[in-house]
C-alpha cells in the first residue's frame, strides 16, 4: 500500500468518525451539514480538522460543543496521537480554538464562560430537544402507519424494534431515537413502553395530541435554524476547488454533503 | 396599496424596513464586513431567484431604490424604518436615524422613522432618548439585544439600565418597542435565542407595546407562551415571511401556531427590506392558505382575507395611530416620484 493510499484511508476513517458529531441545535451530523472543511492526517498519527459554520455569528456555545465533539471522536481512534481542531471565520474562533487545543480540561474552559454552569447541563438541554424531535418523527410515522393512539402509547421496545420504516426520515430516526432512549435509561427491557416523555413519564392515549403539539413546537424551532443553516452555508462557501492534483477528498465529501442537504431540503418542501 | 385579484385595495404598513450603509467604506472592521455578509446570505438564500441583488447594491442602495422597491414596484403605503447603529462595527452607524430621516424627507407622509438606544451607555442613553424625541419626534425604537458594546456582547430587556430607559420612553410617549432577539454570545450556558426577558419587560411596562421581530424564532413556543400571557406583546413577521416561498408548509405551521396562541390582532407584517422586497412577499401572502392538515391540528385556524388585511396593515396602523381612511386619501393625492434614470 502506498503512503498516499494509507493517508487517504486514514482520512476517510477520520471523516467517518466525525459523522458521530452533531450540531447540538439541529441534531444533525456536522458531516451532513457540510461544516467540515478539511481533514488531514500527518505521519499517520497526527490529525488536523478544519470546520466552518454557516455564519460568523453562529452561537459560540454550539461551536464549542462541536469543536470538543470533534476532538473527542478523533482522539478515540487508536492510531491518533495528536488532534488539532481549527474553527474558521467565526466571531469567537480564537477562544474556541484555544479552548479545544489547549492543555486544560475543556469542561473547565467552558465553565469559565458559563457563569459556573456546567457543560453537562448545557448538553442535556440540547439532548432533550434532540429526543423530542426524533420521537416526533417516529410518532408521526406510526400514526401514519395506522396505529391507534392506544396502540401507540402501549407500544413496547420489542414492537418498536420490529417496525418497518416506510419513509427516509423515519428510517433515519428509528435507530437514533432508540439509541437516545436506551442511553438515557428511559427504556431497557423488551416490554418497556417505547414512547415516554424525556422526563420518563408514561403517556395515555388522551395525552397524545397535546404531547405531539409540544413536540411540534420543538421541531418548528429546530427547523427554522436548520433551514437557515443549510441555506446560509451553501451561499457562504460552496464551490468545489481544484487542487494541483485535481479535487481533494474533502471536496468530494463536501459536494456529497451539499447534495444531500439540498435533497433533504427538497424533500421537506 | 395592494390590489387583490378581485380588485380590493389592501392598506399595507411594512413594519420592519431599513436604510442601511454596510459598504466597505463604512465598515470599521471584520465584524462590519461579516455582519453585512450574513444579511446578504439571508437575502440570497431565501429570495426568489429573480429578486436577487448584486452584493455592491445590497451593501449600499440608494434613496431611489427605497422608493421604487417599497412604493412603486412594491405595495407599501407606509414603511417603518428602523435604526440600528452597531457602532463597534460601522464608522457612521449601520442605519442611523439622521440618514433615514433625510432619505424620508422627500415623502415624509410615507415613512415612520424609529430610533434606537443602547441602555449600556447609561446616562448618555437617557440623554439620547431625549435628543431623538425632541429632534425626530419618534414614536418607537428598535432594540437589538445582541449588539456588541466594548466588552459586553449583549444585554437583556430586564437589565436595570434598560428599565431606566423604558421608564423614560413611557414618560415621553415612545410607545412602540421593536425587539430583535439576536443570538447572545456569553454566557455560553445561556440559550442564545432566549426570549424570557420579554416577559419581564412586558409585565413591568404595560403602557408600552412590545413588538418581537421574527416572532421569537427560533424560540417560537416560548414566545407564543409569553404573548398569550401578556396583552401588550406583538409578533413581527419579518424573517418568517420569506419562508412562504422556500418552505410553504413550514410557513403554514408557524402561522398556525401564531394564530392559535397570539391571535390575528397581534401579528404585524414586515418585509425586512432590503433583505427582501415587499412586492413578492405580499403577493404570495395574499394567495396563501394554511394547508388543511396543519390547520386541523390547531382547530382549523386559517388566514382569511380579513385576517390577512389586519396583518398586512391594520394592526400596525392601530399601534402607530394611523387613520387608515384619511391616510389612503392623502396618499392617493401624492404619488411617489422617483428621479428619471
Tens digits of per-residue pLDDT, B256-296? 999 999 999 999 999 999 999 999 999 999 999 999 999 99
Residue A69 and residue A71: Cα distance in Å, rounded? 5
Please say if the pLDDT value at position B161 is more than 50: yes
pLDDT band at B190 (very low <50, low <70, confident <90, very high): low
pLDDT band at B307 (very low <50, low <70, confident <90, very high): very high
Chain B (287-316) residues lying within 8 Å, Cβ to Cβ, of chain A: 297
Q: What is the largest CA-CA distance in chain A?
A: 64
Q: What is the pLDDT of residue B195?
A: 87
Q: Which CATH superfamily is domain A3-117 in?
A: Fe-S cluster assembly (FSCA) (3.30.300.130)
Q: Which of A114, A220, A235 comes nearest B253 by C-beta? A: A220
Please say if the pLDDT value at position B340 is more than 70: no
In this predicted model, what pLDDT tens digit does every residue of B204-217 receive, in sequence order?
999 999 999 988 88
* Whole-number average pLDDT of chain B: 93
Domain boundaries, chain A: 3-117, 122-206, 218-268
Residue ranges in chain A whose pLDDT is less than 50: 238-256, 258, 268-269
Q: Hey, what's the cell of B240?
A: 418568517
Q: What is the pLDDT of residue B270?
A: 97
Chain B (214-233) residues lying within 8 Å, Cβ to Cβ, of chain A: 217-221, 224
Instruction: Tell which residue, B154, B276, B176, B268, has the closest CA to residue B215.
Output: B268
Q: Is B192 on the interface with A (CB under 8 A)?
A: yes
Residue A128 and residue A197: Cα distance in Å, rounded? 10
Residues B55-81, mean pLDDT to the nearest whole number: 96
Residues B218-239, mean pLDDT to the nearest whole number: 92
Return the beta strands (E) in chain B as ranges. Answer: 2-3, 9-10, 13-17, 78-81, 111-113, 140-144, 176-180, 209-212, 233-236, 267-268
Please state the separation of Cα B112 from the chain's center in Å: 12
Residues B314-331, mean pLDDT to the nearest whole number: 97
Q: What is the pLDDT of residue A262?
A: 52
Chain A closest-CA separation from residue B213 CA (Å): 14
Residue B79 and residue B69: Cα distance in Å, rounded? 11
Q: What is the pLDDT of residue B203?
A: 96
C-alpha distance from residue B337 to each of B72, B107, B201, B288, B311 (Å): 9, 9, 42, 31, 27
- Asked if residues A134 and A173 have their Cβ atoms less than 8 Å apart, the reply is yes
Residue B36 and residue B168: Cα distance in Å, rounded? 32
Chain B closest-CA separation from residue A90 CA (Å): 9
Q: What is the pLDDT of residue B268?
A: 98
Residues B70-97, mean pLDDT to the nearest whole number: 96
Rounded to 5°, angle at Cα B111 from B105 and B117: 95
**Which residues in chain B touch residue A132, judged by CB atoms under 8 angstroms apart?**
none
Q: Is B41 on the interface with A (CB under 8 A)?
A: yes
Q: What is the pLDDT of residue A235?
A: 66
To probe the interface with A, which of B29, B33, B188, B239 has the most A CB atoms within 10 Å?
B188
CB contact under 8 A, B189 and A117: yes
Burial B60-80 (b: 16+ CB within 10 A, else e): bbebbbbbbbbbeebbbbbbb
C-alpha distance from residue B43 to each of B64, B95, B242, B282 (Å): 20, 18, 10, 16
Q: Hey, what's the cell of A103?
A: 492543555
Residues 6 or more apart from B181 whose CB is under 8 A from it? B145, B146, B193, B194, B195, B198, B212, B213, B214, B216, B219
Q: What is the pLDDT of residue A245?
A: 45
- In this prediction the pTM is 0.87
Q: Which residue has the cell 429573480?
A: B50
Find, in chain B, the residue whose alpha carbon is nearest to that of A26.
B218
Chain B closest-CA separation from residue A70 CA (Å): 18
Helices (H), B152-267: 160-172, 196-204, 220-229, 243-246, 248-261
Chain B closest-CA separation from residue A228 CA (Å): 8
Q: Hey, what's the cell of B194?
A: 432566549
CB contact under 8 A, B218 and A222: yes
Helices (H), chain A: 3-18, 60-75, 93-101, 106-112, 119-144, 149-154, 157-161, 168-183, 208-237, 249-268
Residue B267 and residue A216: Cα distance in Å, rounded? 21
For B284, phi and psi rounded to 5 degrees?
-65, -35
**Which residues in chain A touch residue B188, judged by CB atoms under 8 angstroms apart?**
60-61, 64, 110, 113-114, 122
Q: Could you tell me if the ipTM is greater than 0.85?
A: no
Q: Is B241 on the interface with A (CB under 8 A)?
A: no
Q: Which residue has the cell 454596510?
A: B22
Q: Hey, what's the cell of B305?
A: 382575507
Helices A3-18 and A249-268 cross at an angle (nearest 10°) of 30
Q: What is the pLDDT of residue B219?
A: 87
In this predicted model, what pLDDT tens digit does every residue of A169-178 receive, in sequence order?
999 999 999 9
**Which residues in chain A touch residue B185, judged by CB atoms under 8 angstroms apart?**
59-60, 91-92
pLDDT band at B185 (very low <50, low <70, confident <90, very high): low
Q: What is the pLDDT of residue B181?
A: 76
Residues B17-39, mean pLDDT to the nearest whole number: 94
Instruction: Tell which residue, B64, B99, B109, B100, has the closest CA to residue B81.
Output: B100
Compute the count of residue pairs across chains A and B with CB atoms less than 8 Å apart.
Answer: 105
Residues B21-29, mean pLDDT to the nearest whole number: 97
Amino acid at each position: 500500500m502506498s503512503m498516499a493510499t494509507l493517508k487517504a484511508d486514514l482520512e476517510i476513517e477520520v471523516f467517518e468518525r466525525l459523522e458521530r458529531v452533531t450540531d447540538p441545535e439541529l441534531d444533525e451530523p456536522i458531516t451532513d451539514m457540510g461544516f467540515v472543511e478539511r481533514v488531514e492526517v500527518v505521519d499517520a498519527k497526527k490529525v488536523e480538522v478544519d470546520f466552518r459554520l454557516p455564519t460568523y455569528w453562529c452561537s459560540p456555545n454550539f461551536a464549542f460543543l462541536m469543536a470538543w465533539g470533534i476532538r473527542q471522536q478523533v482522539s478515540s481512534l487508536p492510531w491518533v496521537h495528536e488532534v488539532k481542531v481549527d474553527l474558521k471565520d467565526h466571531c469567537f474562533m480564537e477562544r474556541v480554538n484555544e479552548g479545544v487545543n489547549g492543555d486544560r480540561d475543556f469542561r473547565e474552559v467552558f465553565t469559565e464562560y458559563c457563569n459556573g454552569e456546567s457543560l453537562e447541563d448545557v448538553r442535556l438541554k440540547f439532548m432533550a430537544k434532540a429526543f423530542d424531535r426524533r420521537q416526533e418523527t417516529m410518532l408521526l410515522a406510526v400514526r401514519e402507519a395506522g396505529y391507534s393512539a392506544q396502540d401507540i402509547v402501549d407500544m413496547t421496545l420489542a414492537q418498536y424494534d420490529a417496525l418497518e420504516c416506510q419513509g427516509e426520515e423515519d428510517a433515519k430516526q428509528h435507530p437514533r431515537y432508540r439509541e437516545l432512549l436506551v442511553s438515557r435509561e428511559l427504556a431497557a427491557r423488551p416490554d418497556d413502553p417505547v414512547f415516554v416523555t424525556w422526563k420518563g413519564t408514561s403517556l395515555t392515549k388522551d395525552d397524545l395530541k397535546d404531547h405531539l403539539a409540544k413536540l411540534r413546537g420543538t421541531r418548528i424551532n429546530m427547523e427554522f435554524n436548520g433551514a437557515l443553516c443549510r441555506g446560509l452555508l451553501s451561499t457562504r462557501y460552496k464551490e468545489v476547488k481544484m487542487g494541483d492534483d485535481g479535487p481533494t477528498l474533502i471536496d468530494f465529501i463536501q459536494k456529497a454533503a451539499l447534495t444531500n442537504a439540498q435533497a433533504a431540503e427538497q424533500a421537506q418542501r | 396599496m395592494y390590489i387583490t385579484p378581485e380588485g380590493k385595495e389592501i392598506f399595507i404598513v411594512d413594519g420592519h424596513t431599513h436604510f442601511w450603509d454596510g459598504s466597505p467604506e463604512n465598515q470599521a472592521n471584520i465584524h462590519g464586513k461579516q455582519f453585512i455578509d450574513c444579511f446578504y446570505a439571508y437575502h440570497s438564500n431565501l429570495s426568489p431567484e429573480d429578486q436577487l441583488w448584486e452584493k455592491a447594491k445590497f451593501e449600499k442602495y440608494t434613496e431611489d431604490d427605497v422608493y421604487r422597491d417599497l412604493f412603486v414596484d412594491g405595495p407599501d403605503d407606509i414603511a417603518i424604518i428602523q435604526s440600528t447603529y452597531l457602532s463597534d462595527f460601522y464608522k457612521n452607524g449601520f442605519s442611523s436615524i439622521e440618514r433615514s430621516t433625510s432619505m424620508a424627507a422627500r415623502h415624509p407622509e410615507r415613512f415612520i422613522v424609529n430610533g434606537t438606544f443602547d441602555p449600556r451607555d447609561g446616562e448618555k442613553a437617557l440623554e439620547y432618548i431625549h435628543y431623538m424625541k425632541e429632534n425626530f419626534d419618534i414614536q418607537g425604537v428598535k432594540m437589538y439585544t445582541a449588539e456588541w458594546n466594548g466588552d459586553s456582547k449583549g444585554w437583556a430587556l430586564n437589565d436595570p439600565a434598560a428599565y431606566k430607559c423604558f421608564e423614560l420612553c413611557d414618560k415621553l410617549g415612545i410607545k412602540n418597542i421593536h425587539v430583535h432577539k439576536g443570538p447572545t454570545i456569553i454566557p455560553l450556558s445561556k440559550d442564545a435565542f432566549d426570549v424570557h426577558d420579554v416577559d419581564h419587560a412586558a409585565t413591568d411596562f404595560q403602557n408600552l407595546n412590545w413588538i418581537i421581530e421574527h416572532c421569537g424564532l427560533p424560540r417560537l413556543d416560548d414566545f407564543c407562551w409569553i404573548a398569550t400571557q401578556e396583552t401588550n406583546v406583538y409578533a413581527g413577521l419579518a424573517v418568517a415571511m420569506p419562508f412562504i416561498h422556500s418552505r410553504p408548509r413550514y410557513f403554514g405551521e408557524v402561522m398556525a401556531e401564531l394564530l392559535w396562541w397570539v391571535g390575528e390582532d397581534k401579528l404585524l407584517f414586515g418585509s425586512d427590506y432590503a433583505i427582501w422586497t415587499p412586492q413578492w412577499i405580499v403577493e404570495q401572502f395574499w394567495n396563501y392558505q394554511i394547508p388543511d392538515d396543519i390547520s386541523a391540528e390547531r382547530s382549523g385556524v386559517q388566514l382569511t382575507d380579513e385576517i390577512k388585511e389586519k396583518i398586512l396593515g391594520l394592526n400596525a396602523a392601530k399601534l402607530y395611530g394611523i387613520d387608515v381612511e384619511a391616510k389612503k386619501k392623502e396618499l392617493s393625492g401624492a404619488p411617489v416620484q422617483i428621479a428619471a434614470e
